Amino acid sequence: MTMGEKANFHGRKILLGVTGGISVYKSAELVREFIRRGAEVSVVMTENATRFITPLTMESLSRNPVGLDMFSLTDERTMGHIDRAKWADLFIVAPATANYLAKAACGIADDLLTTISLVARCPVAVAPAMNTNMWSHPTVQDNIRTLEERGVKIIPPGEGELACGDKGKGRLADLDIIIKAAQELLYGACDMSGLSVLVTAGPTRESMDPVRFISNPSSGKMGYAIAEAARGRGAVVTLISGPTSLKDPDGIETIRVVTAEEMLAAARDHIEANQWLIMTAAVADYRPVKRSTRKTKKDGKKKITLEMESNPDILMELATAKGDRLYVGFAAESESLEDNARKKLLSKGLDLIVANDITERDSGFEKDENRATLLGREGYVERFPLMSKLELAHRILDHSSVLWRAAAKNG
């Protein structure tokens, strides 16, 4: 499987610029691929591009209004040119004609696409496509060099038979190559490629009878974000999920469990095959001693007493399997956030712990955003502001990767 085939762009925003050339039909395919891999895509077309393919096609595939005209009030109202450029995590122009490259190199902004090219501050890539003589022309090559020197990623054209009948270099790079370049720009050089990561997410449920259980408000969002971020960076991910309403993420083996004991059993089954363990799950510490197979009758009782016993601590149980694996835990705290999290970091033998203050109203359980503090064994502390769970997931993975590489170097 190539890196491009594994690439995942879940939650990432890609702005695709399309200029006029015969390979525009491949841009339509590119939009589909980006969408299939979870990206949100917005397309901007030059007037010449619309001669080869209709904006309607691009709009249907991208499920977003297509940007065409600088001076269209409708376009500017849906997403103005400045907003469109700021919105994007990645800006790719494919195909990029010789004309576009020349304008981009000189800073000419005479239409929507070239104007956006000057506004965009996210990573930018161009995939040129043109006749082979045009491609090798010194002017085009100078423009390519200029753009490259300014940090634009050039996705070189492929070689072969061109639409005009000539043979040589000039046809749009294969989609797989473009996707791989997009992945590298978004995530670095797929820094988790070759790694296997086990992630737990969501709550556990501990039943007292067929209709009643003890649980907590974990939605699974944080754990799923970590699993998806790791997959996007090239890792092979296994997700053990408690009951959540989230759907199994594409390309991730997802094991559904209900109780802490089931989560432990699944984690035991999978720990050997994984190099990292990230325990995001909010595991119930206690479970009812008795689990009735029949619904408990009310029978007029005003009070009932529920006897509880402790569940196994999954991280503690997996301590013997740690070896040189990287273990990351989470801590849900309502007081003394960093002190309590540090105690858990040390007592559970973790490399890192992510501490959440669950008393905050805008983060933690169920929310789309989280605010967390990352604590490491050697006193490392990093306090993250409120951010999306996906962004936080990437920050956690960034630091985990640093630790992992340092351990590999020293060991």
Residues lying near ligand PMT in the complex (CB under 6 A)? 202, 218-222, 260, 279-283, 285, 311, 313-315, 329-332, 344, 356, 364-366
Q: Which is nearer to ligand PMT, 33 or 351 (CB)?
A: 351
Q: Which is nearer to ligand PMT, 21 or 203 (CB)?
A: 203
Q: Do the beta carbons of residue 351 and residue 325 sit within 8 Å?
A: no
Q: Do the beta carbons of residue 21 and residue 45 sit within 8 Å?
A: no
Q: Name 213's bridge partners.
A: 207
In the complex, minimum distance from the CB of residue 60 to ligand PMT, in angstroms, rounded to a whole number:
33
Q: Name 159's bridge partners.
A: 169
In the complex, minimum distance from the CB of residue 340 to ligand PMT, in angstroms, rounded to a whole number:
8
The alpha carbon of 348 is separated from its chain's Cα centroid by a whole number of angstroms, namely 28
In the complex, minimum distance from the CB of residue 57 to ligand PMT, in angstroms, rounded to a whole number:
38
Q: Which is nearer to ligand PMT, 80 or 312 (CB)?
A: 312
Report the distance separating Cα 160 and Cα 368, nearest Å: 47
* The residue type at 272: E
Q: Do the beta carbons of residue 187 and residue 233 sit within 8 Å?
A: yes
Per the annotation, the verdict on 164 as an active-site residue is: yes
The catalytic residue among 106, 122, 164, 190 is: 164
Q: Which is nearer to ligand PMT, 56 or 380 (CB)?
A: 380
Q: Which is nearer to ligand PMT, 253 or 313 (CB)?
A: 313
| Gyration radius from the chain CA atoms | 26
Report the distance separating Cα 134 and Cα 8, nearest Å: 34
Q: Do the beta carbons of residue 194 and residue 358 sit within 8 Å?
A: no
Q: Do the beta carbons of residue 327 and residue 351 sit within 8 Å?
A: yes
Angle subtended by helix axes 24-36 and 55-62, to nearest 10: 10
Report the distance separating Cα 122 and Cα 209, nearest Å: 53
Structure tokens that stand for 100 in this block:
């576009």
The DSSP letter of residue 275 is: S
Q: Which is nearer to ligand PMT, 52 or 276 (CB)?
A: 276
Cis peptide before 128 (omega within 30 of 0): no
In the complex, minimum distance from the CB of residue 270 to ligand PMT, in angstroms, rounded to a whole number:
14
**Strands 124-128 and 381-383, sheet pairing:** unpaired
The helix or strand, by DSSP H or E, that contains position 124, with its residue range, turns out to be strand 124-128
In the complex, minimum distance from the CB of residue 40 to ligand PMT, in angstroms, rounded to a whole number:
21
In the complex, minimum distance from the CB of residue 278 to ligand PMT, in angstroms, rounded to a whole number:
8
Would you name the residues annotated as active-site residues? 164
